[in-house]
Structures are given as C-alpha cells and as structure tokens.
Amino acid sequence: MRTDEGRIGPARRIALALIALGVALGMVACGGDSGIEGSEAESDVETAEAQGEASGDLFVSNWPFYIDRKTVPAFEKKTGISVKYVEDVNDNTAFFGKVQPLLERGEAGGRDIMVVTDWMAKKMYDLGYLQNFDKEAVGPALDNLIPALQSPSFDPERNYSLPWQSGMTGLVVNTAMAPDVTSINDLFDPKYKGKVEMLTEMRDTVPLVMKASGVNPEDATEEDWMAAIDKIEQAAASGQIRRFTGNDYTRDLANGDAVAVIGWSGDAVQLQADNPDIEFVMPDEGCMLWSDNMVIPVGAPNPAAAYEWMNYAYEPANQAQITNYNYYVSPVSGVKEILEKQGSDAAKSDLVFPPEEYTADCSTVDTPPGGPEAEQRVERAFQSVITG
Amino acid sequence: MTSPKGRDRSAPRGALRRRAIPYFLLGPGLIWLLLFFVVPLYFMGRLSLESGSLETGGFEFTWEWSNYGHALGDYQDRFVRSFFFAGSATVIALLIAYPLAYAIAFRGGRWKNALLFAVVAPFFTTYLIRTLAWQTILSDDSPVVSTMQTLGLLGDGGRLLATDGAVIAGLTYNFLPFMVLPIYASLERIDVRLIEAARDLYSSARTAFWRVTLPLSAPGVVAGTLLTFIPASGDYINAEFLGGTNQAMIGNVIQSLYLNLRDFPSAAALSFTLMAVILIAVFIYIRFAGSEALMGEEAEKAK
C-alpha cells in the first residue's frame, strides 16, 4: 500500500493527535493508584469490636516522616496482614477538610487508623466520627503506655485515642544568626524583622504567644486568645513576621530566609543533620506539649488488624526502631533502655526523653474555651490574620 | 447572518434537518457546560445562602444574604490587593509579551516553531514546582539578592521574597504564555501587504505600526489580557509561596475559609462575589476596547 505522508487530511491529523494525547494520558492514569475504596457505613457503632484473628488488609493514614522503612514490612511478615501505609496527613485542619465529607456519611475511605493531634481527635469524637476501642483487644498496648500520657483531659480513660508519638512546640533557631533568641517575645524584636515565622496551626502559635505575655493557656479566656491574636496581627502587618507556614518553615530556615521560628522538636533534629547551627530552643516561658493519636474512624473495615498494629507498635523493641528514626517523644515505656543498649544518640536527647524539669513550664495544646461557636470566632480571627 | 426563510419553503424536511445540525454540534459542549458548570454553579449559589456550621449541626438553607455582606466587608482590602496584583501582572506581561510575539511572528523566520516551543516549554513542569523554584531563586541568601545588594538596587536588609513584587513577578511569569500565544496568533495572521501599503503611502514605520499593525492585533491583545487577568485574580499559589504576611490574595482567603474554617457558605459567597466583580470588570473592558477588537475582522466585515 502506498501512502502519501505529506497529505494526511486535517481531520485525520487531529484525530491522530487526539489519540496520541489519549494514549499518553491513559498511561499516566494507569500508573496511578487505583484509588481509595469506600466501605459500608456502620450505623451507631459505639465500639470497634475485634472479631476473630487479625488478618487481611490494614489501611493507616499518618503524617510524613513518622516511620522508618523497616517497621511496616516487619509487621506484615509477623502477622500476615498486608498494610497500606499512607502519609496523607499534613495538617490537622486540612486533613479534616478532606475526610469530613466521608466521615459524615459513616465512611472512612477504607481507613482503619488515622493519626491526628489531641484536639482534633476530640473534635472528631464529639462529631461522632470515631469508634471506641475494644479495651481487651488493645490491652497489651495500653499496658505499655507511659503514665504521663495515660489520662489526658480530652480522653481520660484512653477510650478512643492512643498516642503514636508526642512532641514539643517551641523555638527552632539558627543559633549562628540569632544567638539571643530564648523567648517567644524575642520573635517580636525589631532586630529580626522579616526573619521570623510562626505556624499556621493556631493551637501551637497562639498559646505560645499567650504564655510569653504571662497568660496560662490552660485557663485562658476567649479575650486572652483574641489579645494574643491581635498581637500577632500587628507583628504580621508591620512585616515583623515574614509568613505563616506549615511544615515548610524547615525550608525557609535551611535557605536562610528565616532565622527563628515557632516549630516542632523532631524537625529541629532532622534539620541539624544539614546545618548544625539549627537547634530546638526551649522558650523561657515553656513549650506546648502534644500527642498525635491513633484513632479508629467510623466505618473502619478491619478493627482487629488495627489493634494488632497498635499492639505491635507498642512493643518496646519495635517502638525503639520508630523513635530512633523520627526523634519525637515516645509514648511507650522501656524504649530508653533499649536505645541505650543499642548505643543510639536518641537515648541521650532531651527532645526524645525530656527530663521532667525540661518540660516543667510546658502546657498542653488545647482548644479555645466557650464551646464550638466561641472556638469558631477565635479560629476565624486567626485565619484572617494568616491570610492578611 | 442571512435568513434561511427562502429555503424553508422549498425543502421543509431538509431545512429542518439542516437547522437541527448546529444544535447537534453544540450538544457535547452544552452537556459538558451543564454538568460541570451550571450544576456546580447552582449548588455553589445555594451554598452561599446557607447558614450554620459543621460543629453545630450542619448547614441550612436560609437565604442568608449577609454572607455576601460579610464577604465584601471583611475582605475588601484583599479584593483590592488581588486586582492590583493581577492588574500589574497583566500590564507587565503585555509589555513583555507584545514585543516577543512581534519578534516571533515577523522576525522568527525558520526559528518560529522553536521560539514558540520555548514560550510553552515551562508548561511541561507543573505550576507548583515552577513557583517553588522561584522561591529558591528569590530567597534572601540567593545570588540574585546579593548581586542586587552589591549593585545598590536593593537595600542591605532588603529582600525580594515575601514582597508585593515577588507575587506580581510570579503571576507575570506564570501567565506570560497565555499573553504571548493569542497575540502571536493575531500578529501572524496579519497580511504583510497591508503594512507595505502603508509604507508605500509614505507613513513612517511608527505610524504604520500604530495605524495598521496594532489595530489588527487588538483581538490578540484583548484575548491575552483576559486570559491573564482573570485567572491571576483568583490565583493563590503565587501569594502562598512567594508572598509573606501582607500579600494574601482573595484565593488564599477562599482556600482558608473552605478548608481550614470549613465555612462553606462564606467561601461560596466570596467566590461568587469574585466572579461578579471580574465579570463586571471584563464587561466594562470589552465595551471600552470595542467588540470588534474581540471578534476581530469578522465583526468589521459584518458592518
């Protein structure tokens, strides 16, 4: 057959181009994950019962940089459960915005475990989005929980939340550029104008500013929250604060765009690897303490496997593996001894095993007082400042 | 338009079919618009008049017009700022794009396609990555900033990142191809003999440009400015990564209302307000620029 290539009709040429585009896009689409499967809604389930032997699939949603590479395969090998471990939690509010429509329908997008900060766990629980634990099934894990975390105010009996890791919010400082930053108040020093940053997580940033003004966030009123937000607003408007960030303050510190920020303890250790000048500084007035908790959402397909995962992570030897990677505060007792035996630096770090006097002035992250409407007012004021 | 009446009488069935053809051709586009524009628009409109909050039992439709009052009142400064940023970016993009498109169209020669490819090439990288790259280029310790400080163009404590300039520059950069391509398309179509005729009639090169080339390329300029200004007004990526504490645009506010505060009604009301303001601005602009500029020669011929 003889074809004259120079004379393909325009219609056919467009068709060929479209086919080529379709094939290219199709290849991209097939390369992606097949997506999240929805699960059947369970109506009014109070407790996630562990039925029978744990087996099948497990879907865990967690924050990035929270687990080493060996834990998941080791768990799969030991239990025969196949794990889908997804790092899709970057920010409590944004994650909530994403899963809330599913949870409202009694589904969790196939998730068995989600990891969220204390206040968010409580918020989800109050909205009926979480299930209570089967205390018998999660018993081994609860036995290993350190006493300090056994009865937090939001869930005094650990009915629906179990810490994954804990940590501190304080100052992360480039000590070569800003050697004298030791208090949150120093962030308002004109000397550092345009070189300081604060977190978009309201419950980290605002209480720290309150503490610096001598207000205890644990019994602060709505006016105290608003006063602190006003103070932040003025600093933002004058250009004292360069910007409000999530985890990406690490980039600005590394670039030299920021010299002192409000940040998280584990990040500081990871930044130190590249720049030894960057340090976590405990503010004079103390830090904020928080935990990120494993919770079981409504509609979780495989609670039995979820409990198996919790119990596995709470075995001190397995936990030591995780802590040695992420350098956050471990909620499991007996980890320090194991890390000491292994000669790990983590065993010596105040950030991983904070001595009592180190965190003496610290407060627990909590939500503004006065119920959901007051909380919404404070949230609105803060959001208005960070999108000023 | 010619009236089809005459043909109607002679062949009624054929004419019926012929008259139906345009609707068939419009079909796919209309269905698409209905499904993905009109329906969402309806739901967004409804949402913008609801009240309540997620924590206190969900939202209810209550004709809550005050959402619009709040949207305009609370975020007026950010509206003004958005349009200032988008407008500046559009003007700068036009000043860069016109000479560029002109050079490609009239002086490109055999390099035309390569040059056009160069204009589009950045699009092979995602928008987000391109903007993040600018974050590194403009950062305080970057060679760009230190060079400018050495030359005295920037004060010692001066910076580029997290300023109005950075956001406008980012918008300009990201939307430049949308300005270049339509202008190029309209310049490329110009019959060079018209310009030659102007020169033959003793016009200077400058006069020929002002009286012939520029008016003939007006449709491209109008299309380019709209394609730049409209998406730039609603943009939030550039302000997010290149801006600081006083550079938030209306897109950032909508994002925060929607995802962080989950105040869906206010976010919807703000989106509608933004749409309305842009629509009015564009309408005035087109009236000012003249409809023939948008429709091109077709409109002129029809006169």
Domains in chain A, please, with CATH? Answer: 57-160+296-314 (3.40.190.10), 168-289+362-386 (3.40.190.10)
Q: Where are the domains of chain B?
A: 70-302
Chain A residues touching residue B59 (CB < 8 angstroms): none
Q: What is the pLDDT of residue A367?
A: 84
**Shortest CA gap B208–chain A (Å):** 36
φ, ψ of residue A166 to 5 degrees: the values are -115, 170
Structure tokens, B75? 């975020």
Distance, in angstroms, between A351 CA and closest chain B CA?
30
Question: Cβ separation of B253 and A387 shorter than 8 Å?
Answer: yes
Across the interface, whether the CB atoms of B260 and A384 are under 8 A apart is answered no
pLDDT tens track for B118-147: 999 988 889 999 999 999 899 988 898 988
Q: Quote the pLDDT of residue B23.
A: 86
- Which of B156-180 are b and which e, b meaning 16 or more Cβ less than 10 Å from the residue's Cβ? eeebbbbbbebbbbbbbbbbbbbbb
DSSP string, B178-216: HHHHHHHHHHHTS-HHHHHHHHHTT--HHHHIIIIIHHH
Asked if A388 and B140 come within 8 Å (Cβ–Cβ), the reply is no
Q: Quick: pLDDT tens for B68-86.
A: 988 888 899 999 999 999 9
Main-chain phi, psi angles of A179, to 5 degrees? -70, -25
Task: Report yes or no: A384 at the B interface, CB cutoff 8 Å.
Answer: yes
Q: Is the CB of residue A260 less than 8 Å from the CB of residue A196?
A: yes
Instruction: Give mean pLDDT, residues A153-168.
Output: 94
Confidence of residue B19 (pLDDT cuts 50, 70, 90): confident
What integer pLDDT is reported at residue B242 of this predicted model? 94
Residue B240 has a pLDDT of 92
Give pLDDT, residue A8. 58
Work out the pLDDT band at B238, boundaries 50, 70, 90.
very high
Contact criterion met (CB < 8 Å) for B139 and A375? no
* Distance, first Cα to last Cα, chain A: 68
Under the banding of pLDDT at 50, 70 and 90, the label for residue A83 is: very high
CA dihedral A97, A114, A201, B81 (to 10 degrees): -30
- Asked if B244 and A239 come within 8 Å (Cβ–Cβ), the reply is yes
Residue for token pair 């999108």: A387
The interaxial angle of helices B264-289 and B214-233, nearest 10 deg, is 170
Mean pLDDT of chain B: 87
Q: State the first-to-last Cα distance of chain B, in angstroms, to the nearest integer.
A: 11
Instruction: Name which of B56, B139, B258 is nearest A372 (Cβ-Cβ).
Output: B56
Are the beta carbons of B260 and A93 separated by less than 8 Å?
Answer: yes
For residue A384, the chain B residue with the least C-alpha distance is B253
- Identify which of B161, B259, B261 has the shortest CB distance to residue A380: B261
Which DSSP helix (H) or strand (E) runs through A173? strand A162-174
- The distance of A62 to chain B (nearest Cα, Å) reads 19
Give the fold, CATH level 3, of B70-302. MetI-like fold (1.10.3720)
Q: Are B237 and B127 in contact (CB under 8 A)?
A: yes
A255 in contact with chain B, both atoms CB, cutoff 8 A? yes
CA separation, residue A374 to residues A126, A369, B9, B68, B159 (Å): 16, 7, 73, 22, 39
**Verdict on whether the full-model pTM lies above 0.90:** no
Residue A151 three-state SS: coil
